[in-house]
């Protein structure tokens, strides 16, 4: 055992937690090393001091204080009721959130439809005014595609010719 390990094991030596062989090694070191000897002497007087291990005396009014607090606790609702209250609160929050999402979705879809309708109407009015038309029919996107492929085919056949 070197000086460092001896210094680390001083309390263990004082408390007799070391094996007999280790204790003998420690004692051999103490006979050679004065500082370790002093340290172990000081530590044993402090560590084994019975006054330090004295138990604290509780204040006489501790029971009265506890009784007051217990009365307060008894007035409070029981654990089951507390759990029930928290469960009700949680479900209320979830329901409110669900309703909020539903309202949001409803408002979102209706307002989007309204805006689409308004844009469509404005476009129609613009076309009627600019081309001096009484009325016209909108071509669906499918028929637009068909017209486009037809014109493409025609132009291809013309190029071949």
**Which residues contact another protein (rule: CB under 8 A)?**
7-12, 15, 17, 38-39, 42-43, 45-47, 49, 51-53, 55-59, 62-63, 65-66, 69-70, 73, 79
Cα distances from 157 to residues 107, 143, 147, 151, 160, in angstroms, run: 52, 21, 15, 10, 5
- Minimum CB distance to another protein smaller for 11 or for 119: 11
- Minimum CB distance to another protein smaller for 53 or for 159: 53
Cα distances from 52 to residues 16, 55, 56, 57, in angstroms, run: 19, 9, 10, 14
- Minimum CB distance to another protein smaller for 49 or for 155: 49
For residue 72, the minimal CB distance to another protein (Å) is 9
Instruction: Give CA–CA dist 22/64, Å, rounded.
Output: 53
Instruction: Give CA–CA dist 109/83, Å, rounded.
Output: 39
For residue 39, the minimal CB distance to another protein (Å) is 5
- Minimum CB distance to another protein smaller for 74 or for 160: 74
For residue 87, the minimal CB distance to another protein (Å) is 20
Contacts of 113 (CB under 8 A, 6+ apart): none
- Minimum CB distance to another protein smaller for 45 or for 109: 45
For residue 55, the minimal CB distance to another protein (Å) is 5
**Contact by Cβ (8 Å): 7, 42:** no
Contacts of 128 (CB under 8 A, 6+ apart): 134, 135, 136
For residue 9, the minimal CB distance to another protein (Å) is 7
């Amino acid at each position: 055992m070197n000086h460092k390990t001896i210094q680390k094991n001083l309390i263990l030596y004082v408390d007799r937690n070391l094996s007999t062989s280790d204790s003998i090694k420690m004692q051999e070191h103490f006979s050679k090393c004065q500082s370790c000897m002093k340290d172990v002497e000081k530590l044993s007087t402090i560590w084994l001091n019975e006054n330090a291990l004295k138990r604290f005396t509780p204040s006489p009014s501790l029971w009265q204080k506890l009784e007051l607090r217990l009365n307060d606790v008894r007035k409070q609702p029981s654990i089951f009721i507390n759990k029930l209250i928290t469960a009700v609160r949680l479900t209320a929050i979830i329901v409110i959130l669900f309703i909020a999402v539903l309202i949001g979705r409803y408002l979102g879809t209706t307002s989007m439809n309204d805006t689409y309708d308004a844009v469509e109407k404005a476009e129609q009015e613009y076309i009627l005014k600019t081309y001096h038309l009484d009325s016209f029919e909108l071509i669906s996107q499918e028929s637009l595609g068909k017209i486009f492929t037809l014109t493409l085919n025609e132009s291809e056949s013309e190029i071949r010719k």
